[in-house]
């Protein structure tokens, strides 16, 4: 089952590719040193050649070595993400191209805040945005004005924040424009309809405004730009903006209850208020479309539309994908009724699944082609949701999750770059075309548009090189993703056999079919019918399966994570079905009792491509279940 394509892609569980990485590191460290010398070879060395013989130097070096030894020793207690025994969270080994590129770029220390501080890596970051746009199905030809734009962030949290910023800017811009009242421009007839435009309509209005400005002379252009700026919510703040427009109310953000807590953080950070985050119910951990329709209808009845609707593609806890295609259909009909809103996809986890749907030439692959070789993947809904990505307004993807890059790199991608001008921080920018309409020239001033300021160019290099060595289509990067899905299917198959083997001793079930590479397992010892007791028992099982501060790595046979199933995530009927499958009494599920209002389950993220090791005929999946069987044999009965 191993794919030889992936052999050189990682340092490897055993450090198999150490020579390759070492060669690259030494080569490019030397290369960097020669570059230093060649900047001005006539400048002599400033640190004396004999400095190393002086006592101060030697003391310094001794201290340095001692501290590094201490650090290195303590890092041995790190979680071994690279190991095929690690089945826990959304992290695995690092892709070697990214690691090498990051290490190579690090001593140059480029700062991707602007081209002045990063003449090379800022272009790589713009490239990464286009690579991701292509993967998602967004327009990615920068010669086209409607091209997508993407940039890197510290992670998914800030990418989601950026989505909020852009959605709010686009929703409130038409209202501000009405307040500025440029004569002769075709404006929405009242504030309410201005505040209900979908992002595309808002961008069209922004375009019309920019053309209108272009026709003015410079002083008039500056004056009108100032007028608009003074009317914008970003200038006034929420309170004064809504005080000026009494017929408007702050619009809610709609997201499923499975949404990541970064959404709560984002609303608080932007001063929108946590109350404006409306968490909608899910069915089977996917956004409930009937609840969404009801919420939209209710808002429409009040003359409102949401600020943003979020679909999660790859929920953090369960790996499930919201039906984005259905959300977009609801958005389309709402927009037709004059109640548009932005749609953002939080694909921090699942974004790279889209590589499987992409031909090398960029075309969308049909479901039958994608499905070849799998037992179940992709479910019809999974395929439809991933294929619908191209219709979203913006997407969050985390290269430091399923992109196998080091932490510190998330990505925000919007479908149409023309809205980004609304996030421009430069005070004197007059919505004109000072960049001559040149895409790269505009976004080389990256710091103006992003939530952060200074940021690592080395991460852009890592992402760009990785996506070039392994293009984001099914024939390259997709092969890695495919491996994780096949592993997941093997896990499911093994789990079913395990359930049969355990019959009469422990009830075992997969509580819901996995949609991607995240699979959960629910357990209850035979004879126990009480939910709280089952949870306590599972906690004992979990203890050695998670890393803690005091233990050594070797003390753990495997690493997993856990999560809980709650009625509000799964639906009460579904949860009762799972409890029945485990022979747990329905009335031991008690909403009012801590530990009895949810079911604790094992959660496995299967990212490591070497879980089934053909070279040595070892399946770490088999070994994991053998380990579980042994543990279950000696675990005390629940109390």
Ligand X SMILES: *Cc1c(COP(=O)(O)O)cnc(C)c1O
Q: Which residues bind ligand X (CB under 6 A)?
A: 155-157, 160, 260, 262, 312, 316, 346, 348-349, 398, 410
**Residue in 231, 230, 152, 185 with CA at minimum distance from that of residue 446:** 152
Least distance to ligand X, CB of residue 260, Å? 3
| DSSP assignment of 177-216 | HHHH--TTS---SSHHHHTT--HHHHHHHHHHHHHHHHTS
The sign of the CA dihedral 152, 157, 159, 165 is: negative
Least gap, CB of 159 to ligand X (angstroms): 7
Rounded to the nearest whole angstrom, what is the least distance from the CB of residue 562 to ligand X in the complex?
16
Token output for 378: 């992709």
Q: Which is nearer to ligand X, 188 or 399 (CB)?
A: 399
Q: Which of 28, 475, 464 is nearest to 20 (CA)?
A: 28
Nearer to ligand X, 164 or 312 (CB): 312
Calculate the CA dihedral of residues 59, 63, 64, 70 and round it to 10 degrees.
Answer: 160
CB-closest chain residue to ligand X: 156
Q: Which is nearer to ligand X, 398 or 473 (CB)?
A: 398
The residue among 225 and 282 lying less far from ligand X, judged by its C-beta, is: 282
Residue 182's contacts (CB-CB under 8 Å, 6 or more residues apart) are: 209, 212, 224, 228
Q: Toward ligand X, which CB reaches closer, 320 or 417?
A: 320
Q: Read off the tokens for 90.
A: 């959304």
Of the pair 205, 485, the CB lying nearest ligand X is at: 485
Based on CB atoms, which residue is closest to ligand X, 255 or 272?
255
Answer yes or no: are the C-beta atoms of 476 and 356 closer than 8 Å. Answer: no
CB of residue 313 to ligand X, shortest distance in Å? 8
Q: Report, in Å, the least distance between residue 409 CB and ligand X.
A: 8
In the block, tokens 């309509």 appear at 201
Minimum distance of ligand X from residue 395's CB (angstroms): 11
Nearer to ligand X, 311 or 612 (CB): 311
Smallest gap, in angstroms, from Cβ of residue 383 to ligand X?
A: 19
Sheet with 598-605, side-by-side order of all strands: 506-509, 518-525, 598-605, 561-566
Write down the least CB distance from residue 273 to ligand X, Å: 20
Pairing of strands 277-280, 618-619: unpaired
Q: Which helix (H) or strand (E) holds 157?
A: helix 156-180
Both structure tokens of 632: 């279950």
> Taking the C-alpha atoms of 108, 111, 114 and 115 in order, what is their torsion angle to the nearest 10 degrees?
10
């Amino acid at each position: 089952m191993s794919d030889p394509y992936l052999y050189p892609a990682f340092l490897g569980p055993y450090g198999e590719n150490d020579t390759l990485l070492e060669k690259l590191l030494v080569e490019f460290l030397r290369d960097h040193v020669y570059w230093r010398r060649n900047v001005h070879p006539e400048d002599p060395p400033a640190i004396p050649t004999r400095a190393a013989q002086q006592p101060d130097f030697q003391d310094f070096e001794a201290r340095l070595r001692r501290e590094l030894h201490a650090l290195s020793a303590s890092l041995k207690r790190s979680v071994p993400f690279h190991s095929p025994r690690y089945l826990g969270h959304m992290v695995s080994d690092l892709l070697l191209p990214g690691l090498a590129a990051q290490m190579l770029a690090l001593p140059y220390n480029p700062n991707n805040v602007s081209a002045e501080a990063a003449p090379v890596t800022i272009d790589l970051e713009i490239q990464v945005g286009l690579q991701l746009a292509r993967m998602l199905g967004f327009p990615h030809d920068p010669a086209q004005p409607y091209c997508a734009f993407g940039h890197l962030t510290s992670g998914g949290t800030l990418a989601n924040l950026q989505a909020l910023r852009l959605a709010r800017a686009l929703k409130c811009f038409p209202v501000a424009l009405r307040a500025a009242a440029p004569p002769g421009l075709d404006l929405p007839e009242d504030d309410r309809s201005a505040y209900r435009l979908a992002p595309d309509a808002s961008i069209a209005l922004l375009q019309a405004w920019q053309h209108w400005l272009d026709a003015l002379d410079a002083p008039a252009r500056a004056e009108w730009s100032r007028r608009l700026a003074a009317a914008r919510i970003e200038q006034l703040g929420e309170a004064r903006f809504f005080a000026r427009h009494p017929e408007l109310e702050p619009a809610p953000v709609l997201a499923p209850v499975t949404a990541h807590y970064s959404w709560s953080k984002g609303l608080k950070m932007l001063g929108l208020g946590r109350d404006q985050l409306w968490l909608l119910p899910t069915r089977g951990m996917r956004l409930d479309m009937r609840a969404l329709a009801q919420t939209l209808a209710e808002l429409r009845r009040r003359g409102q539309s949401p600020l943003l609707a979020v679909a999660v593609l790859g929920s953090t806890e369960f790996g499930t994908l919201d039906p984005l295609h259905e959300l977009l259909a609801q958005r389309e009909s709402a927009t037709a009724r004059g109640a548009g809103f932005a749609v953002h996809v939080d694909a921090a986890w699942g974004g790279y699944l889209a590589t499987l749907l992409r031909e090398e030439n960029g075309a969308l692959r049909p479901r039958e082609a994608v499905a070849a070789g799998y037992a179940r993947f992709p479910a019809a809904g999974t395929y439809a949701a991933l294929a619908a990505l191209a219709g979203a307004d913006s997407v969050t993807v985390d290269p430091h999750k399923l992109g196998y890059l080091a932490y510190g790199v998330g990505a925000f991608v919007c479908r149409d770059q023309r809205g980004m001008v609304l996030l421009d921080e430069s005070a004197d920018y007059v919505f004109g075309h000072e960049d001559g309409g040149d895409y790269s020239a505009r976004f080389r001033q990256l710091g103006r548009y992003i939530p952060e300021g200074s940021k690592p160019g080395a991460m852009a290099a890592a992402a760009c090189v990785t996506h070039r060595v392994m293009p984001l289509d099914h024939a390259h990067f997709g092969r890695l993703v495919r491996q994780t899905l096949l592993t997941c299917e093997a896990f499911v198959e093994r789990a079913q056999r395990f359930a049969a083997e355990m019959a009469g001793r422990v009830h075992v079930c997969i509580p819901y079919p996995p949609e991607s590479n995240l699979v959960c397992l629910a357990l209850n010892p035979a004879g126990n019918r009480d939910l709280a007791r089952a949870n306590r028992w599972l906690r004992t099982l979990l203890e050695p399966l998670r890393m803690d501060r005091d233990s050594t790595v070797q003390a753990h046979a495997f690493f997993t994570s856990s999560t809980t199933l709650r009625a509000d995530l799964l639906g009460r009927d579904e949860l009762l079905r799972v409890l029945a499958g485990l022979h747990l009494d329905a009335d031991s599920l008690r909403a009012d009792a801590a530990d009895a209002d949810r079911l604790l389950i094992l959660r496995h993220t299967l990212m490591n491509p070497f879980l089934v090791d053909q070279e040595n005929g070892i399946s770490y999946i088999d070994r994991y279940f053998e380990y579980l069987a042994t543990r279950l044999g000696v675990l005390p009965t629940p109390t």
